[in-house]
Structure 1
């Protein structure tokens, strides 16, 4: 019902209102910016510009000739012979100190890891032993046992706390609880 009333007022005297808007004087358009017309192909300016582009500039040309760039492939410099690379790979790996028993999620059991890295099981073992006995299991000892950087070991022990559980009690005693059925 309300839509009918609104439509009647909207369409009331529509034709007269349209004629009044059309007969109004239109606003003037802003003047355009005066732009220089592009030079034609036959003008003297275009010919001079084309000649200056094609001219050789001797001082710049001599500077360009003085530039010398020497480039070497960084991979070729890093890779020694194939026999010594296998020896360095063996030296950079360490045997696994601790692993969880059983086949975890179908993953292949690791036998060694790169130096400076830990498996999840080793990290959890090191963190729990440090948390239980901080006097005997110091960051220096952990870094030495697992071939880690001392700075990284200290940061790991300071910022990673997997076994810290905090229970936050409710603010009021009148909290609604879900009843088990």
Structure 2
């Protein structure tokens, strides 16, 4: 029954639609109300206010001439001093970059191919290689050797070796003896 009702209402709604549209368009449109004539504000039209603004005030001008401001950016000065100290410590006049030691083949991991790395930084492949070497041979690859090899800070290298353990797999035995286990073939 609802289909029938929808059809009937559509028929009445669309009946003689063109004639109704032409009739509505041919009606006279209502006119907008006339704008109220307002006088200009006194500051915009008054020439006295404009003249007062353009005149020089001698006492204020003399006070302005007596003021001298010299400013320096404290952050820029601190950054320049830190850069000088770091150059003295490393003894290099270079830009502070070292050649890349290790990289993953191709761009399959979405990494951009790098040629050099800032000193004190590691790429992800270098970090993984250094940590896995330390994990396999801790006597050979000590934190000191890793720091020297990759030009890193000793404190950061010790923390990295101590707290970041890659690829550590722990197999937890099941609690109940009746559980099925997968046998290694």
In the superposition, the TM-score normalised over structure 2's length comes to 0.48
